[in-house]
Amino acid sequence: MSTQKEFIKIMTEQFHKGRTFALVTVVDVSGSAPQRIGAKMLVSSTGKRLWGTIGGGTIENLALKEAQAQININIPLLKEYELTEEGEEATGMLCGGKMSLFYDIQGAGTKTYIFGAGHISQQLVPLLASLGFWTVVIDDRKEYLDENFKNLNVAETITGNLPQIIDSIEFEKGSYIVILTYSHDLDEKILKHLLTKREQEFETWKYLGMIGSKRKVSEIFSRLESQGMDPNLLEKVHAPIGIPIRSQTPEEIAISIAAEIIDVRNKKE
């Protein structure tokens, strides 16, 4: 497989999985430098090199860290590096030249994690996909995922023991999280796990919603408060989920949830 084919293959995989990554390109070189203009490197949201190189060594390590930082804020960057031991943008290198890198953020969509693969989720996934959201569906029933989501526009499916599987998920900043499982008890366990085990990340998420009637949500919140959970955290949870349109069917409930998510997405900071 040629290098160009590998580049296209990895880019396509990242887009298909709804992952945000950076394309780092050498756009200018003067003097002695470890790479030429046009050299490229793909970097994951965790700062891992996926493909290519812009020179290796110190400059590449700096570029990996910079790429991760720009992915986190979703802003492209043009930056010049002095490949010297001294200077404002010195790298500690001995090449003596200069190199300019352009960090282009790719695949920066909106990631939505849906707990539950039931009828509402099956209606919600294609609806959110049509609105520009990347969806990840999580359920402990592998057969539901295999049967009902193989032909839907879903970025990824995850199966395993809920809510323990939460600990293995790397929620991106700005994520939307929807709890729609087949059991109110399981919904409660997932919500509790998210707000305790991942509490520090909660403020970085755009949305956390849980299905349930007003009475059922009130009961769940009361139990969680009695177990010591901060009521201020619970106030930030969208529950009952969705905007009030007197929805009854899975299709209508999915529309109400999508409408609430759109409302949150479109609000100015």
Q: State how far the alpha carbon of 34 is from the alpha carbons of 43, 51, 52, 99, in Å.
A: 19, 17, 13, 9
Where is average pLDDT lowest: 27-31, 64-68, 197-201?
Answer: 197-201
- Which residues in the chain are classed under CATH 3.40.50.720? 110-266
Answer whether CATH 3.40.50.720 is correct for domain 110-266.
Answer: yes
Where is average pLDDT lowest: 78-92, 139-153, 163-177?
Answer: 78-92
Query: Which of 131, 92, 173 is CA-nearest to residue 260?
Result: 131
Radius of gyration of the chain (CA): 22
Q: Is the dihedral of CA 256, 155, 108, 161 positive or negative?
A: positive
Question: Helix, strand or coil for residue 205?
Answer: coil
Average pLDDT over residues 28-45: 88
Rounded distance between C-alpha atoms, residue 124 and residue 265, angstroms? 16
Q: State how far the alpha carbon of 128 is from the alpha carbons of 120, 152, 178, in Å.
A: 12, 11, 12
The pLDDT of residue 220: 95
List of residues 6+ apart from 149 with CB closer than 8 A: 117, 122, 125, 137, 157
Q: Could you tell me the two tokens for 74?
A: 């979703």
Where is average pLDDT lowest: 11-15, 32-36, 78-82, 149-153?
Answer: 149-153
Q: How confident is the model at residue 1 (pLDDT cuts 50, 70, 90)?
A: very low
Looking up tokens 């059922």, which residue turns up?
Answer: 216
Q: State how far the alpha carbon of 56 is from the alpha carbons of 29, 40, 49, 268, in Å.
A: 15, 12, 11, 40
Q: Could you tell me the two tokens for 54?
A: 């812009």
The pLDDT of residue 85: 63
Q: Which phi-psi region, left, alpha or beta, contains residue 93 (left: φ > 0; alpha: ψ -120 to 50)?
A: beta
Q: Is the dihedral of CA 159, 165, 168, 172 positive or negative?
A: positive
